[in-house]
Structure 1
Amino acid sequence: MLITLQKLILIFMRIGSFVFISKGFSFKGVPTVVKIAISLGLSLPVYIMIPAMESELGLVQLALFALKESLVGLALGYITNLFFYAVEIAGNFADFQVGFSMSAVFDPALGFQASYFGKIYYWMALSIFFFTDMHHHVLRALVSGFAVFPIEAFSVGDFGVKGIVTLFSMMFEIALNLSAPIVIVALLTEVVLGVLSRTVPQINVLMLSMPLKILVSMSLMLVLLPNLMDSMTEMLPLMVKYMTEFIQSLS
């Protein structure tokens, strides 16, 4: 009976820490009881799927294994969050260039200061995450990780500095690619207004620049919306790829 409970606890620690940190499964407004219920509901099928533990663990061993499982779950959740962070950074780049960053306020639903493009990019990515069933693929990768890196395994491999640098560089590359059209158009609008102010000094460029950049950027956003959604749809499956590679690096 005790070994059965220990097995369930270790499974719950990995899945629970993942659910609590991953943006696709955890929101600021969701009560903690609901998150625990989701984690337990996911842990029970995994408990049936994986083989039983070979021996009973002592109290100190159980604490160490629980800590290891928590760290693995947090790492997997952080990998999924990196892609949402990339989308948020892309929105912040666009907001800064257009001028919306001055109106950024704390959003309790997101848990950070967000302005217009930041919210649009984030909720668009989150909608695509669920509409394309990406949450099912992420959960499948999380569950299959128990076979690659069992709960009784304690020797952790080396994901390496190269893997971490690759993830961060890819995050900024995605952010730049998503925000590039709006940032470039906003810059070109400023250049045109600068040339206009030199040729027609009577025009108040300071009063004209802000509404003009907003109009141009929002119009471009509507025109490029299908391409932006396609880019996010191609980007999100990469989180499953890197989750799987991370688990394999631990084994």
Structure 2
Amino acid sequence: MIEDFQYFLLILIRITTFLTLSPGFSNKAFPNVSKLALSFALSFSVLSVIEPEPISFTVITFLFLGVKELFIGMALGYITILFFTAVDIAGTLVDFQVGFSMGQLYDPSIGVSASNFGRIYYWIAIGIFFISNIHHYVIRSLVQSFEYVPLEQTNFTQFGVEGIVKLFSYIFEVAINLAIPFVIVALLSELTLALISRTVPQINVLVLGIPMKILLSLVFMFFFLPMLMENISGVFPEMIKYMNEFLQSLSN
């Protein structure tokens, strides 16, 4: 009985840490009671599958394993955060080119100051995350993490440093690819304004420029929206892949 309780607590630490950090599950609009219920439900499910050995841990060993589970849950949650951050960075780049960068507001749902297009990108990503059932694959990877990294494992031969560098480079690549259509539109509008200022010097380009770029960005947003949603949808399978690769790098 004591052994099962210790295993359950270790499982609960990893799952609760992940759900606390992972976007979608950690959103403040998601009730804390529901988060806690989901954590307990997943923990009971995992406990019934892994069949823990009848070994009682000492206090020192249990604390060490608890810290290990905390870091694993944080690492998996951080990987999911990075992919949503890439979407938010793309929106911030668009805001900078369009002229919305000075209009950032505090978003209580994510707890940070977010740009206008950044919030649009973020909520599109959240919608796709749940509508496409990506959260099911994320939970599946979380449950499978106990197969890759068992609760009793205390030694790690690799930490996936090369994979971390590759992940960060991919995140910046995703952000640029998502933002590049609107950045091109903003640059073309500035080029058009430059030509207008040369041909018709009487027009005040500074007064005309910002409303024109904002109007063009909103108009092209509707044209590029299907392509944007498709590109964001293609990002999430990579998130699952990097989660699994990270776990495989930790497994002996």
Same fold (TM > 0.5): yes
> Matched residues in 2 for 1:110 and 1:18: separation?
16
Give the drift of 1:196: 1.1
Q: Which residue of 2 is the match for residue 68 of structure 1?
A: 68
SS in 1 for 2:164: helix
Cα distance in 2 for partners of 1:133, 1:29 equals 19
CA distance in structure 1 between the aligned counterparts of 2:53 and 2:97, rounded to whole angstroms: 56
Instruction: Please tell me whether the aligned partners of residues 18 and 76 of structure 1 are also in contact (alpha carbons under 8 angstroms).
Output: yes
Q: Deviations over 1:157-201 (max 9, x none)?
A: 323321111111100100000000001110111111012112211
**Counterpart amino acid of 1:52?**
P
**Normalization by structure 1: what TM-score?**
0.97
1:236-251 matches, cutoff 5 A: 236-251=236-251
- Cα distance, 1:241 vs structure 2: 0.6
**Corresponding letter in the other structure for 1:129:** F
CA contact (8 A) 1:53 1:152 kept: no
* Rounded Cα–Cα distance in structure 1 between residues aligned with 2:143 and 2:157: 19
Letter in 1 for 2:239: M
Q: Find the residue that maps to 2:234 and give its secondary structure.
A: helix
**Structure 1 stretch displaced more, 47-56 or 28-37:** 28-37
Question: Which has the higher mean CA deviation after the structures are superposed, 7-16 or 20-29?
Answer: 20-29
Counterpart position of 2:104: 104
How far residue 31 of structure 1 moved from its aligned partner, in angstroms, is: 4.7
- The RMSD of aligned alpha carbons is 1.1
- Residues 160 and 246 of structure 2 are in contact (CA less than 8 Å); yes or no, is this contact kept in structure 1? no
Paired residues of 2:160 and 2:250 also in contact (CA < 8 A): no
Does the 8 Å contact 1:82/1:171 carry over to 2? Answer: yes
5+ residue gaps, structure 2, are none
1:168 aligns with 2:168: yes
State the AA in 2 paired with 1:98.
Answer: V
What amino acid sits opposite 1:170 in the alignment? Y
Distance in 2 of aligned mates of 1:66 and 1:144: 18
Q: Provide the residue aligned with 1:4 in structure 2.
A: 4
Is the partner of 1:152 in helix, strand or coil? coil
Task: Give the gaps of 5 or more residues in structure 1.
Answer: none
Q: Distance in 2 between matches of 1:148 and 1:165?
A: 22
Alignment match, 1:216: 216
What is aligned with 1:207?
A: 207
Dislocated runs of 4+, deviation >6 Å: none
**Mapped partners of 2:35, 2:62: distance in 1:** 23
Amino acid at match of 1:143: V
- Partners of 2:47 and 2:110 lie apart in 1 by 32
Which 10-residue stretch deviates more, 35-44 or 1-10?
Answer: 35-44
| Structure 1 stretch displaced more, 5-14 or 155-164 | 155-164
The two structures have a TM-score, normalised by structure 2, of: 0.96
Matched residues in 2 for 1:114 and 1:9: separation?
36
State the alpha-carbon separation in 1 of the partners of residues 157 and 6 from structure 2: 24
Maintained 8 Å contact 1:21/1:78: yes
Return the alpha-carbon distance in structure 1 between the equivalents of residues 174 and 190 of structure 2.
25
Question: Quick check: 106-115 or 25-34, which moved more?
Answer: 25-34
Cα distance in 2 for partners of 1:217, 1:124 equals 17
| AA partner of residue 57 (structure 2) | L
